[in-house]
Structure 1
Amino acid sequence: MITKEMIDRINFLYHKSKSEGLTEEEKLEQLKLRREYIKEIRNRVKQQLDNIEFVDQHECSDDCCHHHHSR
């Protein structure tokens, strides 16, 4: 789970890396945090995509608001 503390730490390490540089330990921490963050975002996107329900266009009635005309 992405927490506010995790995001704060990622941002802190980013700004420190630009201003004064990071120690090797901080570089490893930054890498680990970024990987966790990206993994969580991917999981959220996957969950959203898995919940998409496709509707067959032929199920629409004549007064449907969508346009399914062939071009």
Structure 2
Amino acid sequence: MILMDKDEEKKVIDRINFLFHKKEEQGLTEEEEAERKELHKKFIANFRAGFKQQLEDLVIIDKNGKDVTSEKAKRAQRRKGLRKD
């Protein structure tokens, strides 16, 4: 998944919030409810992709200066060209 840029993410969040408040005040049409569900899925997928990217890019160094990053993260970093070892 390609991450949303900040502007697109803000638009999605604003629309989700609008639909939430409308649902609380007067209810949603079937089309709006379907839109709300799709936007929510899109937001969650974007959040997960961003979180996964952060974890894969994380390098852990112990107090002695030794790289103790997990092998799974190291493999992901090598695939991205972030590690030379």
Structure 1: runs of 5 or more not aligned: 62-71
Give the number of equivalent residue pairs: 59
- TM-score normalised by length of structure 1: 0.74
* Over 4 Å off, 4+ runs: none
Q: Is the 8 A contact 2:16 2:36 kept in 1?
A: yes
Mapping for residues 11-26 of structure 1, pairs under 5 Å: 11-26=17-32
Residue aligned with 1:22, SS = coil
Structure 2: runs of 5 or more not aligned: 66-85
Say whether 1:34 aligns with 2:54: no
Whole-Å Cα distance in 1 between the matches of residues 35 and 61 of structure 2? 45
Mapping for residues 1-71 of structure 1, pairs under 5 Å: 1=4, 2-56=8-62, 60=64
Q: Sequence identity of aligned pairs in percent?
A: 44
Residue 56 of structure 1 and its aligned partner are, at CA, apart by: 4.8
Deviations 1:9-64 (A, max 9, x none): 1110000000100000000000000000000000110000001112355xx17xxx
The match for 1:67 is: none
Aligned AA (1:50): E
RMSD of aligned residue pairs (Cα, Å): 1.6
**Could you say which structure has the greater relative contact order, defined with CA pairs below 8 angstroms and 6 or more residues apart?**
1
Aligned AA (2:56): D
Greater Rg by CA: 1
- TM-score normalised by length of structure 2: 0.62
Whole-Å Cα distance in 1 between the matches of residues 21 and 58 of structure 2? 38
